[in-house]
Structure 1
């Protein structure tokens, strides 16, 4: 009998598994852009523990194993900044990334009064861009970070039905 993946708030005890998974997942991004000094690969365990304590971090679990995660916080203007969406390579292309993104959107709207969602990804990260567009995000800005990397910022408004709790 197979286990199903659950999505729950992260705890401090999840930090080490999240950090190891993040390191694994961001190798392909680092290779794509030729930059292994990107923040997800240099984040410390202490920094991650602080973020778990201060923001909204969700994990996807298969049994006791963390197989995905996503983070979010809401600014004073109601903009929910979502980031570090990761899914274990063996679990990719089965809808888990979309489930994590929808789950954090719902939590940020319900618990932190988000009015809009914002996230970003690299211009060459086609899989990420496809997922975000499929879930209703639209590009609003592109910032050239280096000769090899431009960050695409995408946003979407919180739907009226979600904000009303329907």
Structure 2
């Protein structure tokens, strides 16, 4: 498995993977209108221009995972950590999270990473907490969905 920066030509494949990966989240909340399922190619192109998108691919399988992030002041907002359903529970999400952290830590010495996930998304919460993220806010989005926001502060010696 190889992790590298996504290219512009990868965006459609990443968007297709995102929609496949978020079906289980939509089912968990009984809501097919969640943003990751409605996102357009133009939206992901904008994310590509304004941040970083990493991908992970596997021999003959194409892209099986991806993660996105943007920087605002001293905060890195991690968005849409996705792993193909057939490849989940193999450490791929953890690997992508570590790669995005290392990328930003190679550029900045004092940084905070923020991310969020649905309050029912126990597998996601387990992963993030295992990787050192701590809850700091609960945000109600709709009658069905609330997000748990998590953060991780890292000071490195560049």
Query: Do they fold alike, i.e. is TM over 0.5?
Result: yes
Question: Which residue, 76, 97, 100 being the options, matches 1:104?
Answer: 100
Instruction: Give the drift of 1:73.
Output: 0.9
Q: Does the Cα contact within 8 Å between 2:109 and 2:157 map onto a contact in 1?
A: no
Question: Which residue, 128, 135, 142 being the options, matches 1:132?
Answer: 128
Matched, 1:150 2:146: yes
Q: Distance in 2 between matches of 1:72 and 1:114?
A: 16
Q: Cα gap change, 1:35/1:112 in structure 2, threshold over 3 Å: closer, same or farther? A: farther
Which stretches of structure 1, 4 residues or more, deviate above 4 A after TM superposition? none
Q: Distance in 1 between matches of 2:12 and 2:108?
A: 26
TM score, norm. by length of structure 2:
0.94
- CA-atom RMSD in angstroms: 1.4
- How many residues are matched? 157
Instruction: Give the drift of 1:111.
Output: 3.0
Secondary structure of the structure 2 residue equivalent to 1:115: strand
Matched, 1:119 2:115: yes
Moved more, 135-144 or 50-59: 50-59
Point out where structure 2 has 5 or more consecutive residues left out of the alignment: none
* Higher strand fraction (1 or 2): 2
TM score, norm. by length of structure 1:
0.90
Point out where structure 1 has 5 or more consecutive residues left out of the alignment: none
User: Match of 1:73?
Assistant: 70
Q: Distance in 2 between matches of 1:42 and 1:145?
A: 16
